[in-house]
Amino acid sequence: MWYPWLKALHVFFVISWFAGLFYLPRIYVNLAAVPLENSSEYARLLGMAQRLKRFMLPLMLGTWIFGVAITFTLAGPASWWSQPWLHVKLLLVLALTGYDGFCSKLLREFRELRNTRSHVWYRWFNEVPVFFLLAILILVIVRPF
């Protein structure tokens, strides 16, 4: 009875969190490209990044809360631990949570004017969540093992 509601909420939070994970590093690309003498543009982009990052925390927490709730709804944690694909998915979500945390560190560096990375580096960094999303979708839908 609860499973479809938990799943719908989990998917909602996952999609929303990923939207932030895709967009925040894109703002970093632009922040890294702005000359520091253009302080109004830098301040505008920094404000956007800070507001988005604040908004992303409850989305990440919702992803975790409803994801864990789903595992306990599906015949309990004992059956959950017997599915290897789920272990790998959990590992990837933990790594993605680390990526989110690293985004916070990068934001702090921008706020303190200590960024040393180029906009090109951020362009590559911006692509990381795409690979996480692809891998997690394959694990959830295909269940290769």
Q: What is the pTM of this model?
A: 0.94
Band the pLDDT of 81: cuts 50, 70, 90.
confident
What is the Cβ-side half-sphere exposure of residue 103, based on CA atoms within 13 angstroms? 31
**Rounded CA separation 124/48 (Å):** 20
10 has binding-site annotation: yes
53 has binding-site annotation: no
Section 65-93 average pLDDT: 85
Residue 75 has pLDDT above 90, yes or no: no
Q: How far apart are the first and last CA of the chain?
A: 27
Q: Which residues contact 123 (CB under 8 A, 6 or more apart)?
A: 29
Torsion of CA 104, 105, 106, 110, to 10 degrees: 100
